[in-house]
Structure 1
Amino acid sequence: MLKIAHSSIYAHPLPQGHRFPMEKYELLPEQLLYEGTVNTDNFFEPGILDEKWILNTHDTSYFSKLKHLSLTKSEIRKTGFPLSGELVNREIHIMDGSVQAALFALEFGVAMNIAGGTHHAFTDRGEGFCLLNDIAITANYLLGNNLARKILVVDLDVHQGNGTAQIFESTEEVFTFSMHGASNYPMHKEKSDLDIGLPDKIDDSGYLKILKSNIYPLLETVQPDYIIYQCGVDVLESDKLGRLGLSILGCKERDRIVLEMAKKNSIPVMCCMGGGYSPKISNIIEAHANTYRLAQEIFF
């Protein structure tokens, strides 16, 4: 059964006019239920992740400042969010959603978190709509509990997974692969194990050709026994924060490549949603929904 982490907490309201589309966290499950891709049994409610797993990845001093809402104005500004207790609570629930989804993926082959993909959070700071890094926390949880030996992070958001790269820069058990817009945020890129910077406006065929030529050889060289997939849909041509040229169908084929690769090689995969900022919310929902439709088609 496809298991999906979802909570009403994910759709924490932001000030009017904020550019982050929180409503997608409610609309996406509604769409999946309406069309019959999933039913209510597919969803599970994340809780509050034990702090020891957060502190296994993030600096104690940073997490303490988050909890006590004592970040400086500059630190808050870099996150892109107005800091509040509700926002920090939301982030902690997202972390648990990804960890629990990772455990379900061990059982069912694949599992998803409606939120997550917070790849801009570093060990000691937040950036780019990310306070804590669910990809890193989940990877460290799996390694710390001897549930994985070698983890491949496949980050196909339009933005480089700079926080994830920094966290795992000296960790041999985690291989970070980021394929992103070369001229997009962040302007200063960290060093992933494999970075592929893409030109502006690259189309479906060009993107998919580069993805295939890089991701398939990684199975041989990395030999992962677990995949964490950041599948942001800000690669769409319509995205207002992206600079690439993918169609909704091209984005779907991107997901198919990753999910079919995982299924064919019997590698559990946990998918976290990442970004998506197209002006039409329907484009965001359709692109995200395709990931879930494919997961059902390929795995179940």
Structure 2
Amino acid sequence: MTVDLPALVYHECYSELILPPLHRYPIGKYRTLYQRLRELGVPAEQFSTPSAIMPSSLAVIHDPQYIQSLCEGTLDPKAMRRIGFPWSQQLISRSLTSTAGTLLAAELALAQGSQGLAIHLSGGYHHAFYDVGSGFCLFNDLAFTAATLQQRGVGPILIFDLDVHQGDGTAQLFSENRHIITASIHCEKNFPARKQHSDWDIGLDRNCSDAAYLEAVSQSLTSLLSWHKPELVIYDAGVDVHHADDLGLLNLSTATIAARDELVLSLCQQQGIPVAAVIGGGYQRDLDALTQVHLQLFKAAFTVKGSPLGSKIKS
């Protein structure tokens, strides 16, 4: 791997899920993002490929009956509709692999020491609860990663969620865990209608300005790092906060997302805290436009690492 680049995690199965025509989920974005990074000059050896986790390992955060029903395709149809995907074995395999990918990214970041940085080209399925899925989320990869690492003695861990939708599943799963800190900065008048209580929540108005958004992110992360001194930050860099996102309801520019991501990564690097980032939500139907927004996370990571590839990505 190249030392001036972050470790990257990707599996081709992320975009191989067959969905009905006009389905709302932009499943092709993962492949497009990978291809763009390769075209920018990121070498193939910079990418690590995860192997699907065993379903039983999900019991660290999920109900065993829920896991079994979902994997066997016997989950109640109403519960499946709440998830938003038609059931298929391909869906289960992809979900188990993506969950493994977030854990692998965290392991790679920790292995690099205090300046560790890894990005998963998937992840951020924060609407999955203990025994129910929701909002395109079957298994909560953020929670699985944090809980698994906690069992290995890592902690405290901060889950810093900047997806436009509140990380309700993550908040509920760790509501009584003092060593895994949940933080969500999201659009208040957006899905989910019923919010959970994170350790730190900021619900933003739809007309929130770019400056106010960046101030909220900066003040929140600075305070959380100072108070909790985490050994790892798991960062959900959702881009559905973008003004062109179909499901976002915020009005942020691409440049603001670039500044946000560089702010988060820089603050953690300055304090010697490894970061495992996931790309999170993003729902523009134009995959090229959506990919350009997701690339801001990589621009920030390349810049923080001092790689010249950062200058190749436009904001």
* TM-score in terms of structure 2 length: 0.92
Q: Distance in 2 between matches of 1:128 and 1:44?
A: 27
Given residue 150 of structure 1, which amino acid in structure 2 is its aligned partner? P
Please name the residue that 2:61 is paired with.
57
Whether 2:28 is the aligned partner of 1:23: answer: yes
Report the aligned-residue RMSD.
Answer: 1.1
Q: Please, which of 73, 92, 97 is the counterpart of residue 93 of structure 1?
A: 97
Q: Distance in 2 between matches of 1:228 and 1:213?
A: 18
| TM-fit CA distance, 1:52 | 4.2
CA contact 2:32–2:287 (8 Å) conserved in 1: no
Given residue 219 of structure 1, which amino acid in structure 2 is its aligned partner? L
Please name the residue that 1:218 is paired with.
224
Deviations 1:65-108 (A, max 9, x none): 01110111110110011111110110000011111111100123
Q: Please, which of 41, 45, 51 is the counterpart of residue 41 of structure 1?
A: 45
Q: Distance in 2 between matches of 1:69 and 1:50?
A: 16
Q: Please, which of 95, 103, 110 is the counterpart of residue 106 of structure 1?
A: 110
Whether 2:121 is the aligned partner of 1:117: answer: no
Q: Percent identity?
A: 36
Q: Please, which of 174, 179, 187 is the counterpart of residue 185 of structure 2?
A: 179
* Matched position secondary structure for 1:71: coil
* Matched position secondary structure for 1:111: strand
* Matched position secondary structure for 1:257: helix
Please name the residue that 1:190 is paired with.
196
| TM-fit CA distance, 1:296 | 2.1
Given residue 138 of structure 2, which amino acid in structure 1 is its aligned partner? L
Deviations 1:136-187 (A, max 9, x none): 00001111111x2200110000000000001000001111000000000000
Q: Distance in 2 between matches of 1:80 and 1:51?
A: 20
Please name the residue that 2:309 is paired with.
none
CA contact 1:119–1:130 (8 Å) conserved in 2: yes
CA contact 1:236–1:247 (8 Å) conserved in 2: yes
Whether 2:130 is the aligned partner of 1:126: answer: no
* Matched position secondary structure for 2:79: helix
Q: Distance in 2 between matches of 1:29 and 1:8?
A: 9
Given residue 247 of structure 2, which amino acid in structure 1 is its aligned partner? L
Aligned residues: 298
CA contact 1:263–1:299 (8 Å) conserved in 2: no
* Matched position secondary structure for 2:235: strand
Whether 2:21 is the aligned partner of 1:13: answer: no
* Matched position secondary structure for 1:20: coil
Q: Distance in 1 between matches of 2:57 and 2:69?
A: 17
CA contact 1:33–1:40 (8 Å) conserved in 2: yes
**How do 1:141-220 residues align onto structure 2 when only pairs under 5 Å count?**
141-146=148-153, 148-220=154-226
* Matched position secondary structure for 2:182: strand
Q: Distance in 2 between matches of 1:232 and 1:281?
A: 15
| TM-fit CA distance, 1:202 | 1.6
| TM-fit CA distance, 1:281 | 2.0
Q: Distance in 2 between matches of 1:29 and 1:203?
A: 31
CA contact 1:238–1:279 (8 Å) conserved in 2: no
**How do 1:257-272 residues align onto structure 2 when only pairs under 5 Å count?**
257-272=263-278
Given residue 34 of structure 1, which amino acid in structure 2 is its aligned partner? E
Unpaired runs of at least 5, structure 1: none
Please name the residue that 2:251 is paired with.
245
Q: Please, which of 4, 7, 12 is the counterpart of residue 8 of structure 2?
A: 4
CA contact 2:164–2:238 (8 Å) conserved in 1: yes
Larger mean Cα displacement after TM superposition, 48-57 or 284-293: 48-57
Given residue 145 of structure 2, which amino acid in structure 1 is its aligned partner? T
Q: Distance in 1 between matches of 2:53 and 2:287?
A: 30
Larger mean Cα displacement after TM superposition, 3-12 or 55-64: 3-12
